[in-house]
């Protein structure tokens, strides 16, 4: 009798070991099988902290323009991302530069103005606004445990897309105020240059909670433009005969009516950004939806 009792006990334990993992996997999509190339046994990794599939990411953000030689510029904006899967999403992103004019002019611009003839103006390009539509690829999700103090959940992402941008064309002249301080002043009101953009970037998201994350990124905006050429004496002489106010890159655009000597350039703008992302719908809704599939 004891022998049959022991046999039934062993059979029950064996069945529980076979059935329990299968039911746990069906009920919990957090379990992921992984192994090293030399290890044939699969190691189960549990408890993925954050899911993005089917969620909107709403991100207020700030950025510093790190590529302008003549101006300091700070941007503020908003990004809306829909994550089709955990690794792919579509992002609509808009940023507006809220500095401008002569107040954000760097000392380099004032030094250049000091060397120019007083009748000449310095063309200063100041980013205005960017609106982009991009694909977002998130190939890596991971966890860090620095010094054993806390587990940091994060992923790395890449973006690429197209968009619209504009910039303010500012014509500056040299000034000295009553306190004998050097500065730059706008000779005329800024003019707007409209551009088609290509957009690339990369960054990381740190998941603070199941509905909020921090985002750090670097984004490069590329375009092409026609600008005044001073590469040879003939081109320089032609452009110096233009009206001082009109002697900027807009003179090279179609319909300007000015006989300017021009060349094609490929300017880039680098923006270093930081933002906080709010995720909707909530984590419970997403996990319940996954378990119903």
Same domain as 70, residue 56:
yes
CATH assignment of the domain containing 70: 2.40.160.20
Domain with 102, as residue range(s), is: 48-106+124-170+188-224+268-293
Cα–Cα distance for residue pair 155/281, rounded to 1 Å: 19
pLDDT in tens, 238-290: 888 887 666 888 888 877 778 888 999 999 999 999 999 999 988 778 777 77
Residue 170 Cα distances to 21, 45, 56, 128, 246, angstroms: 67, 57, 38, 12, 11
Structure tokens at 100: 């401008």
Kindly state whether residues 101 and 232 are assigned to the same domain: no
The answer on 154 and 164 residing in a single domain is yes
Q: Name the DSSP class of 147.
A: G
8 A C-beta contact, residue 128 and residue 98:
no
| Same structural domain, 230 and 220 | no
Judgement on whether residues 216 and 293 belong to the same structural domain of the protein: yes
For 252, other C-beta atoms within 10 Å of its C-beta total: 19
Tell me if 141 is assigned to some domain: yes
Q: Is 86 part of any domain?
A: yes
Average pLDDT over residues 52-77: 90
Pull the structure tokens for residue 231.
Answer: 């590469």
Q: Does residue 258 belong to any structural domain of this protein? A: yes
Distance CA 227, CA 79 (A): 31
Residues 246 and 216 in one domain: no
Average the pLDDT over each of 29-43, 75-89, 128-142 and give the range with the smallest value. 29-43
Dihedral of CA atoms 167, 168, 171, 174 in degrees, nearest 10, equals -100
Same domain assignment for residues 58 and 203 = yes
Residues 140, 246 within the same domain: no
> If DSSP codes are grouped into helix, strand and coil, which group holds residue 146?
helix
24 belongs to a structural domain? no
* Structural domain count of the chain: 2
Statement to judge: residues 161 and 259 lie in one domain: no
> Does 87 share its domain with 207?
yes
Do 102 and 78 belong together in one domain? yes
Token digits of residue 29: 């999509």
**pTM of this prediction?**
0.76
Number of C-beta neighbours around residue 199 at 10 A: 24
């Amino acid at each position: 009798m004891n022998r049959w009792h022991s046999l039934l006990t062993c059979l029950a334990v064996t069945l529980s070991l076979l059935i329990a993992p299968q039911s746990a996997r069906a009920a919990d999509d957090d379990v992921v099988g992984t192994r090293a190339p030399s290890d044939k046994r699969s190691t189960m990794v549990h408890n993925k902290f954050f899911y993005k599939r089917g969620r909107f990411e709403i991100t207020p953000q700030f950025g510093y323009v790190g590529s302008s030689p003549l101006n300091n510029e700070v941007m503020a904006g908003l990004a809306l991302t829909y994550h089709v899967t955990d690794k792919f999403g579509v992002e609509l992103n808009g940023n507006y530069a809220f500095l401008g004019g002569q107040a954000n002019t760097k000392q380099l611009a004032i030094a250049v103005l000091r060397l120019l003839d007083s009748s000449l103006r310095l063309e200063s390009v100041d980013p205005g606004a960017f609106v982009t539509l991009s694909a977002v690829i998130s190939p890596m999700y991971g966890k860090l445990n620095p010094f054993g103090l806390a587990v940091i959940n994060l992923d790395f992402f890449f973006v690429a897309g197209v968009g619209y941008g504009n910039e303010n064309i500012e014509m500056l002249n040299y000034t000295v105020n009553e306190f004998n301080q050097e500065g730059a002043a706008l000779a005329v009101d800024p003019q707007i240059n409209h551009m088609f953009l290509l957009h690339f970037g990369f960054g990381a998201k740190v998941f603070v909670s199941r509905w909020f994350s921090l985002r750090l990124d670097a984004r490069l905006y590329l375009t092409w433009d026609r600008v005044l050429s001073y590469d040879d004496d003939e081109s320089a002489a032609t452009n110096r005969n233009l009206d001082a106010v009109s002697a900027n890159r807009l003179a090279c655009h179609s319909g300007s009516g000015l006989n300017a000597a021009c060349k094609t350039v490929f300017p880039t703008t680098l923006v270093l950004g930081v933002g906080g992302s709010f995720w909707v719908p909530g984590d419970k809704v997403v996990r319940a939806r996954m378990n119903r599939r």
